[in-house]
Amino acid sequence: MVVARKITGGKYKRKGQKKKYELRGNTRKVKLREEKKKKVRGLGGNTRVVLLSGNTANVFDKTTKKSKKTKIKNVIETPADRFLARQNILVKGAIIETDLGKAKITNRPSQEGMIQAVLIKE
């Protein structure tokens, strides 16, 4: 085993175990179902609300410059992974079918506790 050395000749020390704040959090997959939220504790004792499942989205229409809360009917496609669309999992960038028409999710629902979307022109 070859150990890399510094210019001065000293050996580089190996880092030990990961600290608590370096560990990854749980991945949440927001499903298309009846709305369900959860409070999560963050660093410094801060709390935030995360979404576990949801069926409504705040859809913004660029032409009228107004947003409206509408029901989500279906997940049409997900550019990140086509299998997520098949399982009706809501992620950023997913194209959903709503009462107003097709919309694209603009936020990260698994971290924010709501679903924001922008209406797509057809």
Q: For residue 61, what are the β-bridge partners?
A: 66
Examine residue 18 and state whether it is found in any structural domain, yes or no: no
Domain tally for the chain?
A: 1
Whether residue 33 lies inside any domain: the answer is yes
Residue 68 lies in a domain: yes
Of 24, 25, 26, 30, nearest to 91 by C-alpha is 30
Residue among 119, 87, 84, 89 nearest 104 (CA): 119
Q: Decide if pLDDT at 5 tops 70.
A: yes
- Residue 55: CATH number of its domain: 3.10.290.70
| Assigned token pair, 44 | 């410094």
Backbone angles phi, psi at 112, to 5 degrees: -120, -15
DSSP state of 10: P
- pLDDT for the residue numbered 1: 60
Asked if residue 2 has pLDDT above 80, the reply is no
Contact yes or no for 59/37 (Cβ under 8 A): no
pLDDT in tens, 21-78: 888 877 889 999 999 999 988 888 999 999 999 999 999 999 999 999 999 999 999 9
Is residue 49 domain-resident? Answer: yes
- 20 within some domain: no
Is 1 inside a domain boundary? no
108 in a domain, yes or no? yes
- The answer to whether position 53 is within a domain reads yes
Q: What's the chain's Rg over C-alpha atoms?
A: 21
Q: In terms of residue numbers, what domain contains 108?
A: 25-119
Over residues 68-114, the pLDDT tens digits come to: 999 999 999 999 898 999 999 999 999 999 999 999 999 999 989 99
pLDDT of 19 reads 87
What is the pLDDT at residue 87?
A: 94
pTM: 0.79
| Torsion-angle region of 93 (φ positive above 0: left; ψ -120 to 50: alpha; else: beta) | left
